[in-house]
Structure 1
Amino acid sequence: MRNAIEETDEGCIIHLKVKLGERRRFPAGYDEWRKRIEIEVNEEPVRGRANRQIRAMMADFFALNGDDVVMVYGHKAKEKGVLVKRSMLEVEKFLKNGL
């Protein structure tokens, strides 16, 4: 799972694989082949609705404000990178408790 997290000066970029499902879940698993953490959303990827849901879910999961979660790439793709303004140690702790 550590392969899916990249530390930066601002926080950590979490590499995600988005799956459309009937419910919202984060983390929904780990894709070892793609080295990405899975997230399930129930919003259609229309006009940024799924991206907004992803940001809100991650902000809630990591106990952050919405401004502290920033999508850095993959705005129109299933594979995304999301910057979370927390340290690597904090991110790993949250994820271990969530999986």
Structure 2
Amino acid sequence: MEPVALDALRKAGNDLLVDIEVSPGSGRFEIASYDEWRKRLVVKVKSPPEKGKANREIMKEFSKICGKDVEIISGHKSRHKTLRIYGMDPEAFLSLLQEF
């Protein structure tokens, strides 16, 4: 992941806010790239965007990657979402992304 991905991350107390753009209906879950124009991580998900399936997949997979609780705090019905990762700092998150 490029270092400019920091633009997609913001601290909120002890938590981390992550701006993402979702591409549903992909073959697998993947944090694909960083969109420098929108300043968002591009996330591909298997689930279709219906009845919250894609949102549940996003929270589950990010929680698995980070080992932390994850919540979607904005964009529930949009491709552009903001995640809150509880108890995470930007450096640790970027380090996990590089391993992913």
Question: For 1:34, what is the secondary structure of its paired residue?
Answer: coil
* Residues 55 and 69, structure 1, Cα contact 8 Å, conserved in 2: yes
Question: Please, which moves more after superposition, 5-14 or 71-80?
Answer: 5-14
Residue ranges of structure 2 left out of the alignment (5+ in a row): none
| Structure 2 match to 1:3 | 7
Percent identity among equivalent residues? 27
1:43 is aligned to: 47
Q: Which structure 1 residue ranges, 4+ long, deviate > 4 Å from structure 2?
A: none
1:1-99 equivalences under 5 Å are 1-20=5-24, 21-25=26-30, 27-64=31-68, 68-85=69-86, 86-98=88-100
Unmatched 5+ residue regions in structure 1?
none
2: CA distance, partners of 1:7 / 1:73:
16
Whether the aligned pair in 1 keeps the contact of 2:6 and 2:90 (CA below 8 Å) is: no
Calculate the aligned-residue CA RMSD, in Å. 1.1
What secondary structure is seen at the aligned counterpart in 1 of 2:19?
Answer: strand
Deviation at 1:59, TM superposition (A): 0.4
Q: By how many angstroms is 1:89 displaced?
A: 2.3
